[in-house]
Structures are given as C-alpha cells and as structure tokens.
C-alpha cells in the first residue's frame, strides 16, 4: 500500500531582523561628523583666518569707517609693538594733509588716506616686490629722522615700527602678485594751514 503523499508544508517566513538601533547609529554618526567639522573649521579660522584679518584690517579700516565700531584692531592687530588703539577717527582722504615727515611711496597705483587730528592711516598699492618697496620706504623714513624701534615678519610680511619723539608709526608691506600693498598707521599731528 502506498501512503498518501502529504501536501507540502509551507515554509514559514523568516523572522524580521531587528535593527540594532540603525536610526540611533546613523544619527550619532551624522552628529559626530558635524562636531568634527565644526572643531576643524574653528581651528582653521583661528589660525589662518586670524592672520588674514590682521593683514587686511588697515585697508578695510581705510575703506569702511564703520569697522571701527567692531574694535577689530584690538582683537586681531596685536602682533608687533602696540600703537594706541583708541579707535579709528574720522578724517580726510587728502594726501596734502599728510605730515611732511611721514613718508609714503611716491608712485602708487592706488592710494587712500584717513588723516585726522592725531592719526594717519594710509593704504597704497605699489608696483614691485615687497623687498624693493621696503628698501625705498626704509631710506625715506631714515632720511626723515625716524628711528626704527622694531622690525619683524608677521605672516611672511615685513612690519616696521618707527618712532620720532612721542609719535609712532607702523608700516606693513604685503606681497600682492607683482605688486606690494603698503599699510601705514601713525599717531601724528597733521599739518595746519
């Protein structure tokens, strides 16, 4: 006798896999990536960004007077010998008011000035490498009887601090392609008519 064949038994479905906190793991990974990027960005901003702001601050102050309200000079331009930072004073963009003993390059491509009762701020863009512009300005300042108080490099840019009596001037020269940007900030008294 033959045994009747039994109907095939259905294969039970495989039990659903329980995720071991997949959403939680994904959220933690995304959070970790964001935290690492924030920390890395902060470190980069404090190292490279600080030098960039300090290097460009005199030009920005000359072009945008409202920056004086932010006190950026106190926060970023503390490298080198200090100059009184009582804030930027409104002044005239008139080279004729420049005191005779404050030397600037004689043939800049671009220049702007801010001359107030006790401060002079100047920006010039000059053709030529920083070493040549530095040599020309050094000779001019020495010829005007200023004494060099400090000389250093800040972010690969020469910075010179000159003094004459109770007046102090800071000169910075930054390479800009084939040109050199010159920033001058002095505590001086402008010429009177």
Looking at the domain assignment, is residue 44 inside a domain?
no
60-105 pLDDT, tens digit per residue, is: 777 776 666 666 655 554 444 444 445 556 667 778 888 888 889 9
Cβ burial, residue 166 (10 Å; 0-12/13-18/19+): exposed
In this structure, what CATH number is given to the domain that contains residue 119? Answer: 3.30.310
Residue 175's alpha-carbon distances to 24, 25, 122, 178, in angstroms, are 51, 49, 17, 7
106 or 77, which is more confident? 106
Looking at the domain assignment, is residue 135 inside a domain?
yes
Q: How many CA atoms lie within 13 A of 187 on its CB side?
A: 13
pLDDT for residue 42 is more than 80: no
Mean pLDDT of 162-187: 88
Band of pLDDT at residue 6, cut at 50, 70 and 90: confident
66 or 166, which is more confident? 166
Looking at the domain assignment, is residue 86 inside a domain?
yes
Domains identified in the chain, total number: 1
Looking at the domain assignment, is residue 145 inside a domain?
yes
Looking at the domain assignment, is residue 45 inside a domain?
no
Could you list the residue range(s) of the whole structural domain that residue 116 is in? 54-187
3-state SS, residue 169: strand
pLDDT of residue 150: 86
Looking at the domain assignment, is residue 122 inside a domain?
yes
């Amino acid at each position: 006798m033959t045994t009747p064949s039994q109907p095939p038994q259905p294969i039970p479905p495989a039990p659903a896999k329980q995720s071991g906190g997949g959403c939680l793991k994904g959220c933690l990974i995304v959070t970790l990536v964001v935290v690492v990027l924030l920390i890395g960005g902060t470190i980069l901003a404090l190292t490279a960004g600080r030098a960039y702001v300090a290097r460009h601050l005199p030009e920005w102050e000359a072009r945008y007077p409202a920056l004086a309200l932010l006190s950026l000079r106190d926060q970023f331009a503390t490298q080198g010998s200090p100059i009184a930072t009582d804030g930027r004073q409104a002044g005239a963009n008139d080279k004729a008011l420049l005191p005779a003993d404050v030397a600037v390059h004689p043939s800049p491509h671009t220049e702007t000035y801010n001359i107030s009762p006790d401060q002079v701020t100047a920006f010039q863009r000059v053709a030529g490498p920083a070493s040549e512009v530095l040599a020309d300005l050094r000779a001019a300042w020495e010829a005007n009887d200023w004494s060099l108080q400090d000389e250093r490099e800040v972010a690969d840019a020469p910075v010179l601090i000159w003094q004459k009596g109770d007046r102090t001037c800071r000169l910075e020269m930054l390479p800009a392609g084939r040109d050199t940007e010159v920033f001058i900030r002095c505590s001086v008294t402008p010429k009177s008519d």
